[in-house]
Amino acid sequence: MAQKIIAGVTVEVNEEGYFTNPEQWTRVLASEVAQEEGIQLSDRHYAVLEFLRERFIKGENLTIRSVGNSGITDIKGFYGLFPGAPMKKAAKIAGIPKPASCV
């Protein structure tokens, strides 16, 4: 496994840059990863990230539809928060592995 220094902290990542140890995640690290992705995080972004982290910890499947049904944002809003590939970007910023539903 590879290591990457983010905001002065060494974290374990896979070949695609996703955290391999979600426990290393912090809001500071999320902000740095988001900047690399061209995203400035807001409270709504953090709400989505925390939702995804909670679902991941519970072992639930992460899908765009589940975010759309979360009550935090709808699907269109999710695409607006994380443009291009919302689930991939959100998972990376949330410090969790890329969901199986993402290619």
Of 61, 62, 59, 57, which Cα lies nearest the Cα of 91?
62
- Tokens 């979360």 label which residue? 70
CA distances from 68 to 52, 58, 84, 91 (A): 12, 18, 16, 15
- Token reading at 85: 């590939």
- Active-site residue set: 102
Dihedral sign from CA coordinates of 102, 80, 47, 3: positive
- Token reading at 27: 């809001």
